[in-house]
Structure 1
Amino acid sequence: MSDAGTSDTGEAGSADKPYPSATAGWFLVVMLTIAYIFSFVDRYILGLLIEPIKAEFELSDRSIGWLLSAFTLVYGFVGIFMGWLIDRGKRIWIVSIGVALWSAATVATGTAKNFVQLFAARMGVGVGEATLSPATFSMIGDSFPEEERGKPIAFYSSALPIGAGLASLLSGAIIAWTAASGSQSLPFFGELSPWRFTLIIVGLPGLALAILFLFLKEPVRRPAPASEEVIGGSGFLDALTYVWRNKLLYMGFVLIICCMTAIAYSQGFLAPTFERTWGWSPQFYATVNGVALLIIGPANMLIMGTISDWWTKKGVKDASLRILYVGFFIMVPTASLPLFMPTAELAFAILCINTIGIGIVSAIGVTSLLVITPAQIRGQVVALYYLAISWFGSLGPIAVGELSSGVFGEDNLRYAVATVPIIFAIIPLLMMPLTRRLYRRQMELLGGASK
């Protein structure tokens, strides 16, 4: 009893403290966003190097599908432990270690001698990156009041298209340069083929970024008050119990984002799809795609975050969920239709609309999650969230590889890519009415508990 009383008093005291200044809060968000850009470059760039890797190791599309999923298979699982650690440890230091680890693993991918080493290195990238987003959203929750979180979360999420765009442009430029000048040499690494050189050059700068994070200050934790009817404590069992008690809500909600990750991860096959179907070289696709992502992605995410904050302040209770639904209905059809277009230009134009839909779901997903999640278990629930969307997302490229090699034939890769959005959209679509009803009810319950 005395321990519980002490904990409650401490939590109330933390909750009464003012938030950090806007300058301090946004500086932290900017630094975390830079780290997220680095992480997404390291994550995304492998999909642009599929053809030379496939040729060197004599792999099938099935093997490539599993290789693209190696990151996500471990990313979500490790995130569970990270969520527990983040709710207790020094979050900035955890991020620093994670940045160093995924950067070193990206370099290791470029030095791999066989498929097993490739797979293990990509798993290492997943382990490192599992630290970042749970720590980020935990710290954003402690840096901004609820009605002001949409913009910083959307700003952070804008790193996704920025990272993808930079990965496209960077890899396209490096591949074109090395293709023209032949193999490159680096100290300690020796002579390198273009795809190996690309991965090593991309991975090394992250080691310097990791050091910078050791000097940043993190915000004071702000556990929000909540009645025992809502959440009993801050342990992992408390988080699991809370999610299980609201399983239909979390299932319907999370499956929307799972559909997004399955589509997004399966699009790692788009570069070879455009090459096999319409004759675009990986370098050309990477360049065009990079420019499009940098133009469309960040603006789209920041606009959605601003709209979410504005609607919330206007009293629209489920504003973020409504925006999430809009993104879903943009994302799904525009992910399948392009693969049936007669020209690459028309297909790519529709994919630009798809980028908007994916960006909306990416930017608003965590904002919506925080609304229905008590602060005491936020890091762990965010980690569970990333476990679910990562593991589901990993099924996207696996499904493409299996469908391409086993059903449609590898010359018809585009049909395999087009099938994935349909498969993953059915269940969340059917659950949408129930999800919204449960979401609004849980908002009211948590709102009443915090008064």
Structure 2
Amino acid sequence: MARTLPEPSDRTPAPRSSAGYVLGLLFAGNLLNFYDRALPSVVLEPIKEEFGLDDTQVGILASAFVLVAALAGVPLGRLADRVPRAAVAGWGLFVWSAFTAAGGLLTSFWGFFASRVGVGVGESSYAPATGSLLSDLYPSERRSRAHSLFMLGFPLGTLLAFLTAGALAVAFDSWRAPFLIAAVPGFVVALLVLRVREPERGAADPVETRPPAPHEHGGPRGHRLRSLMKVRSMYGMLIAFAGYNFAAYAIGTFLTPVLQRYHGLSLVNAGVVGGIVVGETGLVGLVAGGRVLDRAARRSPEARVRVSAFSLLGAAVFSLAGLAAGQGALWQFVVFLSLGYLFGIVYLAAAVPVVSDIIRPEQRSGALGLLFAVGYLLGGAGGPVLVGILSDALAAGAASTSEASAQGLRTALLITVPLAFAVAAAGMLLASRSVRSDRAAMLSPAATP
């Protein structure tokens, strides 16, 4: 005999996974996201030697998955506005884990290049879907802290990659070993994410912002995009995300090489020092930043945005001081670049909560897909390529090839990274001017997608 389902008027709440469990599970996936993403950077010198690459080609290789992630992020974000977000995130995790393993098996440069493209497709689904999902688990005044805990996967995953990838490559006498090992936990976490029972869209927002019936979601494609572009704060957010990603990906790609070439460290030691710079400081920045940003959000909608802007300005100043360190001042490089990374990463605890404050629930995955697409395209992909081109140009024609390579890379980072952080700060200051009015419009019962 068939069971009778309760009528909607019964208001029987649909079963859902607890917020803490979902946050912990999505954090685990995000940790693997950044672990897999950082692997080529940690073992970059052996990869460069095997395939005979220059810094420009290295930058292109590092940007391959980022570029594809930028292009795939928008349609996958829109997909997550229409189907269960856990399905989009879980299958994305499965796909990028499979391509990470493929990177350890394929022996040609173009095969390895294609595997990184595949990683980009998988990873592009994760941030838009999980950002929207977390926004339905936590109200606005708690979102920065929740998202900062989720984003701890960034520094922890990167730290683990820097601490373990070089050691695994040495232990197995192959830079390919870390890629094969990293795929295993990815498959396990993907299966668990696919089993998540997610909340109703808009569940943590005021009742008047709840989305319409599923068949009404979004409207025509052109209308959805135009409605997002009417939110003035989004323009500043796009500039900020592009600037931040430029700096973060430039550092992430070339940190180990500059420590080896310019400061004379071995692969394993460079990995350990790099883990301190981008890992341990990132933990502090996200945990402290999430608390500070949520306190600011209780004062006013724009306070959270301004705090992150000033933090990015601090990142520009400290990173300039660190990258200006000479070859005999490794301590200056580590201390000040670490502080720059710490202040910069605070921005990540603000980005998704700010978008959730100004975009209606039924459009958030698409808006986040757009944000990540522009950030990755202009920043994440542009940073490594531009730094690589500038590094090769500065090193060209020098008498000592090794010394020129070291000086060229260090100077390229010194020019670009602080400037990119400053651009990100300018974007957040621009967004702060209209975030209050944009949030009021989002909360208005008359607002429609």
TM-score (norm 1): 0.86
Give the aligned partner of residue 191 of structure 1. none
Task: Confirm or deny: 8 A CA contact 2:301 2:435 kept in the other structure.
Answer: no
Alignment counterpart, residue 29 of structure 1, candidates 23, 30, 40: 23
What amino acid maps onto 1:273 in structure 2? V
Give the aligned partner of residue 411 of structure 1. 406
The answer to whether 1:80 aligns with 2:67 is no
Give the aligned partner of residue 401 of structure 2. none
Task: Confirm or deny: 8 A CA contact 1:320 1:367 kept in the other structure.
Answer: no
What amino acid maps onto 1:397 in structure 2? P
For 1:242 and 1:82, the matched residues in 2 are separated by 18
The answer to whether 1:211 aligns with 2:195 is no
In the TM superposition, what are the counterparts of 1:395-434 in structure 2 within 5 Å?
A: 395-409=382-396, 410-412=405-407, 413-425=409-421, 427=423, 434=430
What amino acid maps onto 2:181 in structure 1? I
For 2:187 and 2:159, the matched residues in 1 are separated by 21
The answer to whether 1:361 aligns with 2:347 is yes
What amino acid maps onto 2:188 in structure 1? A
Kindly provide the CA deviation profile for residues 166-220 of structure 1, in whole angstroms up to 9, marking residues without a partner as x: 1111113213423xxxx3xxxxxxxxxx201121112232122222223322222
| Larger CA deviation: 167-176 vs 289-298 | 289-298
| 1:331 Cα offset (Å) | 1.6
Give the aligned partner of residue 161 of structure 1. 155
The answer to whether 1:337 aligns with 2:321 is yes
Task: Confirm or deny: 8 A CA contact 1:101 1:125 kept in the other structure.
Answer: yes
Residues 417 and 112 of structure 1: is their aligned pair in 2 closer, same or farther, counting only changes over 3 Å?
farther
Give the aligned partner of residue 135 of structure 1. 129
Residues 211 and 425 of structure 1: is their aligned pair in 2 closer, same or farther, counting only changes over 3 Å?
closer
Residues 160 and 210 of structure 1: is their aligned pair in 2 closer, same or farther, counting only changes over 3 Å?
same
The answer to whether 1:38 aligns with 2:32 is yes
Give the aligned partner of residue 117 of structure 2. 123
Alignment counterpart, residue 365 of structure 2, candidates 379, 393, 400: 379
What amino acid maps onto 1:115 in structure 2? F
Kindly provide the CA deviation profile for residues 113-158 of structure 1, in whole angstroms up to 9, marking residues without a partner as x: 2222121110111111111111111111221222222221111011
In the TM superposition, what are the counterparts of 1:51-450 in structure 2 within 5 Å?
A: 51-178=45-172, 183=173, 194-222=174-202, 225=208, 234-235=218-219, 236-246=221-231, 249-267=233-251, 268-291=253-276, 293-313=278-298, 315-342=299-326, 343-392=329-378, 393-409=380-396, 410-412=405-407, 413-425=409-421, 427=423, 434-449=430-445
What amino acid maps onto 1:331 in structure 2? A
What amino acid maps onto 1:438 in structure 2? S
Identity %: 26
Residues 67 and 220 of structure 1: is their aligned pair in 2 closer, same or farther, counting only changes over 3 Å?
same
Structure 2 segments unaligned to the other structure (5+ residues): 1-7, 397-404
For 1:438 and 1:114, the matched residues in 2 are separated by 50
For 1:90 and 1:143, the matched residues in 2 are separated by 14
For 2:272 and 2:421, the matched residues in 1 are separated by 30
Residues 100 and 385 of structure 1: is their aligned pair in 2 closer, same or farther, counting only changes over 3 Å?
same
| 1:227 Cα offset (Å) | 11
State the aligned residue count: 419
Task: Confirm or deny: 8 A CA contact 2:35 2:160 kept in the other structure.
Answer: yes
Structure 1 segments unaligned to the other structure (5+ residues): 1-9, 184-193
Give the aligned partner of residue 190 of structure 1. none
Give the aligned partner of residue 3 of structure 2. none
Task: Confirm or deny: 8 A CA contact 1:150 1:308 kept in the other structure.
Answer: yes
| 1:301 Cα offset (Å) | 1.0
What amino acid maps onto 2:300 in structure 1? V
For 1:402 and 1:289, the matched residues in 2 are separated by 22
| Larger CA deviation: 120-129 vs 405-414 | 405-414
| 1:303 Cα offset (Å) | 2.0
TM-score (norm 2): 0.86
Kindly provide the CA deviation profile for residues 335-358 of structure 1, in whole angstroms up to 9, marking residues without a partner as x: 333222122221011111022122
For 1:206 and 1:288, the matched residues in 2 are separated by 26
| Larger CA deviation: 158-167 vs 331-340 | 331-340
Q: Secondary structure at the match of 1:278?
A: coil
What amino acid maps onto 1:218 in structure 2? E
